[in-house]
Structure 1
Amino acid sequence: MEKLTNDILREIGSLSRAIHSISDIKYKELKLQKGQFTFLTRICENPGINFIDLSNMLKVDKTTTTKVVQKLIKVGYVDKIQDETDKRGYNLFPTQKSIEVYDLIIKEENRNIEVCLDKFTESEKMVINQLVKRMSKNIETDWKNKKSKKESFK
């Protein structure tokens, strides 16, 4: 039986699920469903972003992005406006409602960061940030290749 060479991705996954679970409970009162806050923050930070760029930024398929954005539009957090140069495309903009909750979401994200990095030195925090960014960059090419080829196990 094949053995796992390192459990770092399991730990990162567990960390991510715990943070999302905490956030989902907190954001329920804002009428945000599971994981929608990640889409909302990226739209607020990138007004006018299109579906494809948002999908790539969050490493999810376009179908997932479409479903989440439709729900965010329905509850008044996002406006979808037809692209002026490409009439087939749409750009996403935060509404005043989303701008008002954005600061609450960022405060919660900052609190989660503080909890996760409690008792780490500033130097350790910088190293962790750099290493995780490198990991993300390393996997991005593979993710794009797998996504485009929809490869199966061989």
Structure 2
Amino acid sequence: MEDILREIGSISRMLESIANIEFKEIQLSKGQYIYLVRIFENEGIIPERLAELIKVDRTTLSRAVKKLEENGFILKESDKENKKIKHLYTTIKGKQAVQLIIRENNYSNKVAIQQLSALERKNFAEMLAKIKSSVEIDWVNVKNGIKRDY
């Protein structure tokens, strides 16, 4: 059996390494750009929903959100009805950073698929969606305490 996940992991680590180097100049470190873009795309999102969207635990999310807030990329606002609920918003600085991140993402996508035909790109996108769906089912089960039988 082909070790597809090894290749996906390798691609992911290379792209993350590139992004971490390129985004260092705007004070975004280790993967924070993912959180920032998702907040930008979902202004007012609550942390629990953001954690589900990015597929991380709350502790990891909390650290990243705190750092983004400290560096002026996002701000937290209490819910008008329930002060315990916090909504996340991008600041002007955050919105400017997102524009750079989106340009980098588009460029990386273009480079990554440059050797694929239009049909191969379409098929690959469909296959990746299926892989993600399968892994997501497992991820949800494990997060809910279900032990995998391998």
Question: Which of 95, 107, 115 matches 2:91?
Answer: 95
Question: What is aligned with 1:113?
Answer: 109
Question: Which of 123, 128, 135 matches 1:127?
Answer: 123
- Give RMSD over aligned pairs: 1.6
Q: CA deviation at 1:153?
A: 7.8
Q: CA deviation at 1:129?
A: 1.2
Q: AA paired with 1:116?
A: A
Q: AA paired with 2:70?
A: K
Residues 142, 82 of structure 1: alpha-carbon distance in 2 compared, 3 angstrom cutoff? same
Residues 27, 137 of structure 1: alpha-carbon distance in 2 compared, 3 angstrom cutoff? same
Q: AA paired with 2:49?
A: D
Provide the C-alpha distance between the structure 1 equivalents of 2:14 and 2:50, rounded to a whole number of angstroms. Answer: 23
Residues 89, 99 of structure 1: alpha-carbon distance in 2 compared, 3 angstrom cutoff? same
Matched, 1:13 2:6: no
Provide the C-alpha distance between the structure 2 equivalents of 1:101 and 1:30, rounded to a whole number of angstroms. Answer: 7
Matched, 1:61 2:68: no
Question: Which of 28, 31, 38 matches 1:32?
Answer: 28
Provide the C-alpha distance between the structure 2 equivalents of 1:95 and 1:27, rounded to a whole number of angstroms. Answer: 17
TM-score (norm 2): 0.93
Matched, 1:45 2:41: yes
Provide the C-alpha distance between the structure 2 equivalents of 1:114 and 1:41, rounded to a whole number of angstroms. Answer: 19
Question: Which of 143, 147, 150 matches 2:139?
Answer: 143
Question: What is aligned with 1:73?
Answer: 69
Q: CA deviation at 1:99?
A: 0.7
Q: The residue matched to 2:144 in structure 1 has which SS?
A: helix
Q: CA deviation at 1:52?
A: 1.1
Question: Gapped runs of 5+ residues in structure 1?
Answer: none
TM-superposition CA deviations, 1:8-36 (whole Å, max 9, x none): 00000000000000000000000001100
Provide the C-alpha distance between the structure 2 equivalents of 1:45 and 1:133, rounded to a whole number of angstroms. Answer: 20
Question: Gapped runs of 5+ residues in structure 2?
Answer: none
Residues 37, 87 of structure 1: alpha-carbon distance in 2 compared, 3 angstrom cutoff? same
